[in-house]
Structure 1
Amino acid sequence: MTARYGAPMPESIRHALRAKADPARGVPCPHCGAAAHRPCRLRSTGLLLAKPHPQRRSAWAQLSACCPECQVEPTVPCHDEGRARGTVHARRYQEAEETAA
C-alpha cells in the first residue's frame, strides 16, 4: 500500500484508477522526461498533455511487445534490413495493444 496525504491506498484500487490511462504511461517519456505513470507535458510551458508523446508510445511498444515484422524481442529496437529505425513498426504497436488488453 502507498501512503499519500495520510490515507493509504491499496494497489488493487490504484490499478483500477490507472486502467483508464493510456498503457504507454507505464514507461518514462524520453521526449519530455515525464516519470512513469505521469502525464506527458510540453517542455516549453509545462502544460500537461492528455495523450502521451509519440516517442513514449514507441518506447512502450518496444519494451512490451515482439515485432512481427522484423522479428525482434521486447527491448530490442526495430530495424530495416539491419539499419536501426527511429521508431517501431506499425505492427509492433498493434502487438503491444493486444498484449495490453
Structure 2
Amino acid sequence: MTIRYSAPMPAELRHFMRAGQHPARSVPCPHCGVAAHKPCKLRTSGRLLTEPHPQRVSDWAQATACCPQCQVTPETPCHEDGRARTTVHARRYQEAEDTAA
C-alpha cells in the first residue's frame, strides 16, 4: 500500500486556482448573505445563481482596486461631487478585472 502525503495548498494559490468562478466570489454577498467563495442564491427559492449579484461585484471592485476616475484607494467608496456613490465607477470595475487577471 502506498501512502501519499500532500501539503495543504496555501490560501493565496487556492483563491486564484478556482476555475470558472467570478473573482467577486472572494467577498461575501451583501444581497443574499452567502459567505465568501459560495455562489449567490435567490432569497425566495434558494436556487443557486451562475453569476454573482451586482452589489457583490461592486463590493469586490471596491475592496480590490483603486478608482482611476475619483482617485480613491481600495476599501474607500467612490464619490461624485463630494457625495458617496452606492456603486463604483465603471472604470473601477475594469481596474479590478485587470488586477484579477
Task: Give the TM-score category using the shorter length.
Answer: 0.7 to 0.9
5+ residue gaps, structure 1, are 1-7
Structure 1 position 76, deviation (Å): 0.2
Larger radius of gyration: 2
Q: Which has the higher strand share?
A: 1
Question: CA separation of 1:15/1:72 partners in 2, compared to 1, >3 Å: closer, same or farther?
Answer: closer
5+ residue gaps, structure 2, are 1-5
Runs of 4+ residues deviating >6 angstroms? none
Residues in 1 aligned to 2:26 and 2:77: alpha-carbon distance in whole angstroms: 18
Q: Count residues with an aligned counterpart.
A: 94
Q: Equivalent pairs: percent with the same residue?
A: 67
What TM-score, normalized to structure 2? 0.85
Which residue pairs with 1:49 in the alignment? 49
Structure 1 position 9, deviation (Å): 8.0
- Secondary structure of 1:60's counterpart equals helix
What TM-score, normalized to structure 1? 0.85
Residues in 2 aligned to 1:38 and 1:9: alpha-carbon distance in whole angstroms: 24
Structure 1 position 25, deviation (Å): 0.1
Cα RMSD after superposing both structures: 1.9
- Secondary structure of 1:73's counterpart equals coil
